[in-house]
Amino acid sequence: MADLTQPTLENLATLIEGIKTKLNMANTAVMRPEDFTLEHYEDLLYLYNMVQKKTTFSINEMTAIVEELGNMRKQA
């Protein structure tokens, strides 16, 4: 297992993929690792850890997580 405390692009990809997998996201194309920067790594790590600890998510929780991820995405 990689040391996720280190903000690298590889770890960022691991975080994003882990979140997508845990949330069973249907449209995973909207959340690609390259859409995020290391600037938000700490926040993504916190979100990743939170998501990994939970077994189920309410609709409201899913919405909040997806909105938070949207706020962290690179602006076009």
Residue 17: what pLDDT? 92
Residues 44, 9 contacting (CB under 8 angstroms): no
pTM: 0.87
pLDDT single digits (tens) 15-50 = 999 999 998 876 666 788 999 999 999 999 999 999
- Using the Cα atoms of residue 11, residue 47, residue 38 and residue 71 in order, give the sign of their dihedral: positive
At which residue do the structure tokens 């290391």 appear?
38
Number of Cβ within a 10 Å radius of residue 40: 19
Q: What are the extents of the domains in the chain?
A: 9-72
